[in-house]
């Protein structure tokens, strides 16, 4: 999945070992998908669709200063 995300969205990905079967996808620290919250792994294309929606929303909003 990391390779697909890198190729489709041209985003750098990082895989991080979790504990207790955790599977999360984050974009700039914001949670995009959580196995813990949904009680399942993502369906095919689900993470990519969520990332596409999040990226589209980000482009519409002004840049946030930290």
The 10s digit of each residue's pLDDT in 5-37 is 989 988 888 888 877 888 999 998 899 999 999
Domains and CATH numbers, the chain: 2-60 (3.40.30.10)
Specify the residue for token string 């200063």. 65
Averaged pLDDT for residues 38-54: 94
Question: Considering the chain, what is the average pLDDT of its residues?
Answer: 85
Question: Is the model more confident about 60 or about 34?
Answer: 34
Closest CA to 1 of 57, 40, 51, 59: 51
pLDDT for the residue numbered 11: 87
**Residue 1 pLDDT > 50:** yes
pTM greater than the 0.75 cutoff = yes
């Amino acid at each position: 999945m990391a390779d697909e995300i890198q190729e489709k969205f041209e985003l750098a990905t990082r895989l991080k070992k979790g504990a207790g079967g955790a599977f999360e996808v984050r974009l700039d620290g914001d949670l995009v998908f959580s196995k813990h919250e949904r009680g399942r792994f993502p369906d095919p294309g689900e993470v990519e669709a969520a990332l596409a929606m999040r990226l589209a929303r980000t482009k519409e909003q002004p840049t946030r200063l930290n």
